[in-house]
Chains A and B, each alone.
Chain A
Amino acid sequence: MNRDELDHLLRSLRVPEATEEFREALPGSVFSAITRGEGAHKTRRLTLGFAAAAACGLLIGFLLWHRPLSYERQAAAMEDGRTLHDLLTRYPGRLQAIIQDATGLHTQVSDRGEVSTSNPVWLEIKDGSDQQVVVTFSGQRIRCEGHDVVVLTDTSGDVMLVGDGFFWSRGATVGVAGTVQIRAGKISQTRDHSPVSL
Chain B
Amino acid sequence: MKTLLTLLLSAAALRAAPDSRAPARVAVFDFQAEGAAATKLGGASVGRSIANVLTADLSSLLPVTVVDSAEVRESLSDRKVQIADPLEPSEASQVGRTLGATTLVSGRVYMDGNDIIIAAKVVSATTGQTLGAMAKADASTTVADAVSLLGTQVGRIALSQQGNPDVPWAPAEIVGTARGKSLFSVGEVACVMAVDGVPIPDETEKWELKRALLPGFHDIFVRYYDGTSVAGENFTLEAMPGQNYEVSFERPQGQKPKLWIREQLSGRAVTPTILASVGEPPRVIQGRISFDLRGIWSESNNPTPYPNAMGHSK
Contact = CB atoms under 8 A, between A and B. Distances in A.
A137 B86 CA distance: 11
A174 B117 contact: yes
B202 to A, nearest CB: 33
A141 B130 CA distance: 12
Contacts of B157: 155
Contact of A116 (B83, B112, B130, B156): B130
5 contacts: A138-B129, A139-B87, A155-B133, A164-B84, A165-B34
A119 B111 CA distance: 28
B242 interface: no
B48 interface: no
B117 A172 contact: yes
A122 B135 CA distance: 23
B86 A174 contact: no
Contacts of A141: 84-86
Interface string B101-119: 0000000101110010101
A152 B112 contact: no
Given A152-B130, A152-B132, A155-B160, A114 B121 contact: no
A141 B84 CA distance: 8
Given A171-B136, A172-B115, A174-B111, A118 B127 contact: yes
Given A139-B131, A155-B131, A167-B112, 4 more contacts: A152-B132, A160-B134, A167-B119, A172-B115
Nearest to B132: A152
A112 B88 contact: yes
B131 A153 contact: yes
Contacts of A148: 84
Interface in A132-148: 137-141, 148
Interface centre among A115, A119, A150, A173 (most CB of B within 10 A): A150
A154 interface: yes
B130 A154 contact: no
B90 interface: yes
Interface of B: 34, 83-90, 108, 110-112, 115, 117, 119, 121, 123, 127-134, 136, 153, 156-157, 160
Interface in A89-117: 110, 112, 114-116
A139 B83 CA distance: 9
Contacts of A171: 136
Given A149-B84, A150-B83, A163-B84, A114 B119 contact: no
A172 B131 contact: no
A154 B133 contact: yes
Contact of B108 (A115, A162, A172): A162
Nearest to A151: B132
Interface of A: 110, 112, 114-116, 118-119, 137-141, 148-150, 152-155, 160, 162-165, 167, 169, 171-174
Contacts of A139: 86-87, 121, 123, 128-131
Contact of B132 (A115, A138, A164): A138
Given A154-B131, A174-B34, A174-B112, A115 B88 contact: yes
B130 A172 contact: no
Interchain residue pairs A-B with the least CB separation, the first 3: A152-B132, A139-B130, A116-B128
B134 A114 contact: no
Contacts of A118: 127, 129
Contact of A173 (B84, B112, B128): B112
A150 B127 CA distance: 18
A163 B85 CA distance: 9
A116 B84 contact: no
A163 B112 CA distance: 14
B129 A154 contact: no
A153 B132 contact: yes
Nearest to B34: A165
Given A139-B121, A139-B123, A155-B157, A172 B88 contact: no
B119 A160 contact: yes
A154 B123 CA distance: 12
A38 B129 CA distance: 81
A150 B115 contact: no
Contacts of B130: 116, 119, 137-139, 152
